[in-house]
């Protein structure tokens, strides 16, 4: 494994498992790689089988341990497969989301509004409900949710997305109150404008450059920069950090509030 494994406090003891949703690309994939470096067995979930298996291959090539669980958070069969895993989850990272089509609220189909809320917020609740009992019993657990600075700034044409990500703030703070005395922490990472395959496909080069320039650091972020923060919050070293909603945004929100 890479030398990062030798950093005290970041490495996990043998036998622990991490679950990462939306792990086929972008922030999710980068997070899965970062957690594998910490010595965790990583279960990568997502809808795209080839992407997941490629990510699993990269982890194994580094000497890590991983497996893919292909499925859609909207499919009850996926939840049954998740519950039937032969491993208990010690670190849960909920990164998956299903953005609605860009458009003003009255033009977005109801089904798409439901899809966003279900994949982000309700799925987050279900994942916590599934993972928390084992974490409490073990006396250790890390719950990390991936939100967005849209919670603070709003998002024109993506009202449902911003609303769902805002809901994660209440979920994280309330869940932290329930679980933290059991050695289980619960935190929210809120990325700003991150250079991913999804943002490249959705936003023109000109707009992407303008959004990156709005950040205090003057550029877009990378998936690896977000994953590094998630990895810290997932580590044993972050035992006194809970209920936090942390922007990882390059300061894109500064001066705008």
Q: Do 115 and 97 touch, CB atoms closer than 8 A? A: no
Going by C-alpha positions, the residue among 99, 83, 73, 77 that lies closest to residue 21 is 73
Catalytic residue among 18, 131, 144, 161: 161
Q: Do 25 and 32 touch, CB atoms closer than 8 A? A: no
Q: What tokens appear for 177 in the block?
A: 């109150």
Q: Catalytic: 240?
A: no
Q: Do 251 and 214 touch, CB atoms closer than 8 A? A: no
Residue 77 to residue 49: CA distance in whole angstroms: 16
Task: Show Cβ contacts of residue 156 under 8 Å, excluding neighbours closer than 6 positions.
Answer: none
Positions marked catalytic: 161
């Amino acid at each position: 494994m890479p030398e990062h494994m030798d950093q005290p406090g970041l490495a996990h003891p043998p036998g622990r498992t991490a679950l990462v949703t939306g792990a086929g690309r972008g922030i999710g994939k980068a997070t899965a790689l970062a957690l594998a470096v910490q010595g965790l067995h990583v279960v990568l979930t997502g809808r795209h089988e080839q992407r997941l298996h490629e990510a699993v291959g990269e982890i194994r090539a580094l000497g890590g341990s991983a497996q893919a669980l292909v499925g859609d958070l909207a499919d009850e069969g996926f939840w049954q497969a998740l519950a039937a895993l032969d491993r208990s989850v010690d670190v849960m990272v909920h990164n998956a989301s299903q953005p609605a089509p860009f458009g003003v609220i009255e033009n977005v189909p109801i089904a798409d509004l439901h899809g966003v809320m279900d994949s982000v917020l309700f799925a987050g609740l279900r994942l916590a409900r599934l993972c928390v009992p084992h974490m409490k019993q073990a006396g250790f657990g890390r719950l990390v949710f991936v939100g967005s600075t849209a919670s603070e700034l709003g998002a024109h044409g993506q009202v449902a997305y911003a609303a769902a990500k805002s809901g994660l703030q209440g979920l994280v703070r309330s869940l932290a109150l329930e679980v933290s005395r059991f050695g289980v922490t619960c935190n929210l990472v809120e990325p700003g404008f991150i250079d991913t395959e999804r943002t490249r496909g959705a936003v023109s080069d000109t707009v992407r450059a303008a959004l990156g320039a709005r950040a205090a650091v003057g550029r877009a972020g990378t998936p690896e920069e977000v994953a590094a923060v998630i990895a810290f919050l997932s580590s044993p070293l972050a035992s006194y950090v809970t209920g936090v909603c942390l922007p990882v945004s390059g300061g894109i929100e500064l001066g705008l509030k």
